């Protein structure tokens, strides 16, 4: 009996000594030249309707248990969010040799855990289990992003209580605003949504084009002759140059 108790204790000590890894955890990252102080993961999320979205998740360097959970989307449409990961706000940046990685001193994961999601299907490593020559639209994408985010929290339930922020740039403004609206409309308790942050957002192509012309004229990049041509030929109302024909 004493031997059995001893063996049980030894077995428990052995189990405690083993480092258990989640299926998607990245154990080794080629080309990295610094020691990581956080965990990171990559794999696929079920985005519904045969969509499988690739993600790369980096935990906070602070306290992952309480720090915000951030979803990041690049724009396009069609731009991979790995661009944001390796060139903008991620913890590692690609060196000029294209083979090695250096530490990003301004990484957002110093204060938050970040999900870099490639959306929609056929962006980056994301795909759909049907022939590739298919069309999609924003209404379909918001459902896929919503499903992918819920699947993420099924994989990582410890992050359910963390405050969730939806962030991105350019055309991601459309994806994020629609996703936030979807979460609010569904009264989703699984997603602890606290805010949305959009950089350089595409809210209206008409406003974007008009603003660019005003901006360039104001900074002397458009001369008076061309500017007067714009004003004479603008369509319908003053200041709307979107359908300009000169």
Distance CA(210)–CA(236), nearest Å, equals 13
Query: Which helix H or strand E contains 99, and what residues bound it?
Result: none
The CB density around residue 56, as the number of other CB atoms within 10 Å, is 24
What is the chain's mean pLDDT, rounded?
A: 86
- Phi and psi at residue 165, in whole multiples of 5°? -125, 135
Cβ neighbours for 128, distance < 8 A, ≥ 6 positions apart: 49, 50, 51, 52, 121, 122, 134
pLDDT surpassing 70 at residue 114: yes
Read off the CATH number of the domain in which 196 is found. 3.40.50.1820
Q: Is 231 a domain residue?
A: yes
Tens digits of residue pLDDT in 61-105: 999 999 999 999 998 888 999 999 999 999 999 999 999 999 999
Same domain, 191 and 246: no
Could you give the percent of the chain with pLDDT greater than 70?
Answer: 85
Same domain, 121 and 228: no
Q: Which domain holds residue 96?
A: 23-203
**Which pLDDT value is given to residue 7?**
44
Cβ neighbours for 246, distance < 8 A, ≥ 6 positions apart: 229, 230, 233
Q: Is 240 a domain residue?
A: yes
Tens digits of residue pLDDT in 173-204: 999 999 999 999 998 788 999 999 999 888 77
The two three-digit tokens of residue 126, written as one number: 């994301």
The CB density around residue 207, as the number of other CB atoms within 10 Å, is 12
**Which pLDDT value is given to residue 33?**
86
Same domain, 184 and 237: no
Q: Is 12 a domain residue?
A: no
Distance CA(44)–CA(166), nearest Å, equals 19
């Amino acid at each position: 009996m004493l031997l059995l108790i001893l063996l049980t204790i030894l077995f428990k000590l052995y189990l405690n000594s083993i480092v258990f890894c989640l299926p998607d955890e990245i154990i080794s990252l080629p080309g990295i030249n610094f020691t990581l102080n956080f965990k990171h993961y990559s794999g696929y999320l079920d985005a519904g309707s045969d969509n499988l979205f690739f993600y790369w998740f980096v935990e906070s360097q602070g306290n992952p248990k309480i720090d915000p959970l951030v979803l990041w989307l690049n724009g396009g449409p069609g731009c991979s969010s790995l661009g944001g990961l390796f060139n903008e706000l991620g913890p590692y940046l690609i060196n000029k040799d294209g083979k090695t990685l250096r530490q990003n001193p301004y990484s957002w994961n110093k204060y938050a855990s970040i999900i870099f999601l490639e959306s929609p299907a056929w962006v980056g490593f994301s795909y759909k289990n049907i022939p590739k020559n298919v069309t999609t639209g924003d209404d379909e994408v918001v459902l896929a992003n919503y499903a992918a985010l819920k699947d993420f929290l099924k994989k990582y339930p410890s992050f359910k209580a963390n405050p969730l922020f939806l962030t991105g740039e350019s055309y991601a403004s459309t994806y994020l605003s629609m996703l936030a609206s979807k979460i609010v409309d569904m009264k989703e308790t699984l997603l602890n949504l606290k805010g949305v942050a959009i950089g350089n957002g595409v809210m209206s192509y008409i406003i974007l084009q008009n603003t660019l012309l005003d901006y360039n004229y104001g900074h002397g990049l458009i001369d008076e002759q061309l500017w007067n041509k714009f004003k004479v030929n603008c369509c319908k109302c003053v200041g709307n140059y979107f359908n300009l024909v000169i």
